């Protein structure tokens, strides 16, 4: 069985460009949610959530074990694993969760701040890839496949008006938006220029303390504006 579903062999497409807000009839605009990118392999029996490094996230989010019941067909969904805190996605909470291993602590966290999977793309459906379909066709497919509830949602998008959408997102202090070409295809593992990230980020200088560079176990660094708060961030979880 070399089926990409069975082998869990899908690799998410990545945003390739950063840009300024723009309006375009050829694009749609989505909220850039501050969570952990995941692919969800869903069939009648259950869901298998894999992060970008293809690690199973299921043990970390037991509250999402039933989302497959809201999905009508066998499919691979691309989306973001989010934890909402005070009405906003909270990345540090997702990160805290992904570093937990004690089941009871995970259960407590799952009750206090339950996670949610927001699907924004569909890569496979009923035995065949959907990656060659234009984005808008995948979007409508996604809409028919998923029945939303508090644990699984389908990402909303805005047509054409990227600038007004961005202004609103900026005003609300959200992370940013992503522009995607309406006719774009999905290429596994590729950094695509057809997805453009428009980030609500204040320019600043960042300092990386030398001591973190020398620690080989850290594969990434999370920057903070103040160097004393520069926290090494374990990407290898």
Measured from the CB atom, the residue of 57 and 75 that comes closer to other proteins is 57
Q: Does 161 bind other proteins (CB under 8 A)?
A: yes
Least Å distance between CB 237 and other proteins? 7
* Spatial CA neighbour of 46 closest among 32, 65, 27: 65
Helices (H) and strands (E) in the chain, counts: 5, 14
Q: Which of 116, 122, 123, 179 binds other proteins (CB under 8 A)?
A: 116
- Tokens describing residue 39: 């692919």
Residue 15 in 3-state DSSP?
Answer: strand
Q: Which of 6, 101, 211, 215 binds other proteins (CB under 8 A)?
A: 101
Q: List binders of other proteins among 39-68 (CB under 8 A).
A: 55
Buried b (16+ CB within 10 A) or exposed e, 198-209: bebeeeeeeeee
Residue 30 in 3-state DSSP?
Answer: strand
DSSP β-ladder status, 231-233 and 14-18:
unpaired
Residue with tokens 């939303």: 148
Candidates 123-131, 132-140, 159-167, 189-197: pick the segment binding other proteins (CB under 8 A): 159-167
Interface residues toward other proteins, by CB under 8 A: 21, 23, 31, 33, 55, 82, 84, 87-89, 101-104, 107-108, 112, 114, 116, 118, 148-151, 153, 155-156, 158, 161, 163-165, 167-170, 172, 236-237
């Amino acid at each position: 069985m070399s089926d990409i579903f069975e082998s869990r062999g899908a690799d998410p497409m990545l945003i390739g460009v950063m840009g300024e807000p723009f309006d375009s009839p050829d694009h749609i605009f989505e909220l850039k949610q501050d969570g952990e990118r995941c692919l969800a392999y869903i069939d009648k029996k259950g869901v298998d959530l894999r992060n970008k490094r293809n690690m199973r996230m299921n043990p970390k989010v037991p509250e999402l074990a039933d989302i497959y019941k809201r999905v009508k067909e066998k499919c691979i969904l691309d989306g973001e694993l989010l934890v909402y805190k005070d009405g906003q996605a909270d990345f540090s909470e997702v990160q805290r969760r992904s570093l937990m291993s004690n089941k009871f602590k995970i259960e407590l966290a799952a009750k206090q701040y339950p996670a949610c999977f927001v699907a924004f793309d569909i890569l496979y459906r009923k035995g065949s890839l959907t990656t060659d379909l234009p984005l808008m066709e995948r979007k409508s497919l996604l809409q028919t496949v998923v029945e939303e509830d508090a644990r699984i949602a389908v990402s909303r998008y805005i047509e054409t008006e990227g600038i007004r959408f961005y202004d609103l997102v900026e005003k609300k202090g959200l992370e940013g938006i992503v522009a995607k070409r309406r006719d774009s295809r999905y290429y596994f593992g590729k950094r695509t220029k057809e997805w453009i990230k428009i980030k609500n980020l204040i320019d600043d200088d960042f300092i990386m303390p030398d001591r973190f560079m020398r620690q080989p176990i850290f594969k990434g660094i999370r920057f903070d504006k103040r160097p004393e708060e520069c926290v090494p961030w374990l990407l290898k979880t």
